[in-house]
Structure formats: structure tokens, C-alpha cells
Amino acid sequence: MKGPEIVIWSIVALWLVAAAVVIGYPLMAGRIRAGLDRVSREDDPRTFWNAYIFSTVLFLGASIAAGLFLRSVLP
């Protein structure tokens, strides 16, 4: 592998770990932070799903922006 390929694969691996934490952990644990409060899926399902969707969309949007930036920087 060449230098840029190693950098790209490293970034992909880090992104997968971050995606597992941001997207997967709240579903497995059944709770998420909404501001300073911790919201449980069983106690307040509407707030949980709103916070989950917001954080997922925010994470994917930031990921797309970072991907476009890296595409323009790397050859």
C-alpha cells in the first residue's frame, strides 16, 4: 500500500469506531444524553428517538462534510 491509501484506511477505521459509538451505543444501551439530561428509551420514548435522530443526522452530516474535505485535500 502507498502512503495515501494507508491514511484513507486509517480514517475509515476511525470513522467506523466513531459510528459504532454514536449510532450503535444508544440503541444497545437504551439511553442517550439530551442536553444535560440522560433520557431512557423506556421512560420517555419520544424524547429518546428525537435525540437519537438528531445526533445521527448531525454525525452523518459532519461525516459527509469531512469526507468531501478529505477528497479535495488528498490526491
Total of domains in the chain: 1
Report the pLDDT value the prediction gives residue 2, as an integer from 0 to 100: 78
Residue 26 CB burial class (10 angstroms; 0-12, 13-18, ≥19): buried
Assigned domain for 68 exists: yes
Secondary structure of residue 37 in the 3-state scheme: strand
What rounded mean pLDDT belongs to the chain?
89
Report the pLDDT value the prediction gives residue 34, as an integer from 0 to 100: 84
- Mean pLDDT across 1-16: 84
Report the pLDDT value the prediction gives residue 55, as an integer from 0 to 100: 93
Report the pLDDT value the prediction gives residue 47, as an integer from 0 to 100: 92
Q: pLDDT, tens digit, for every residue of 43-55?
A: 999 999 999 999 9
End-to-end CA separation in angstroms for the chain: 15
Assigned domain for 50 exists: yes
Report the pLDDT value the prediction gives residue 67, as an integer from 0 to 100: 87
Residue 27 structural domain: 16-73
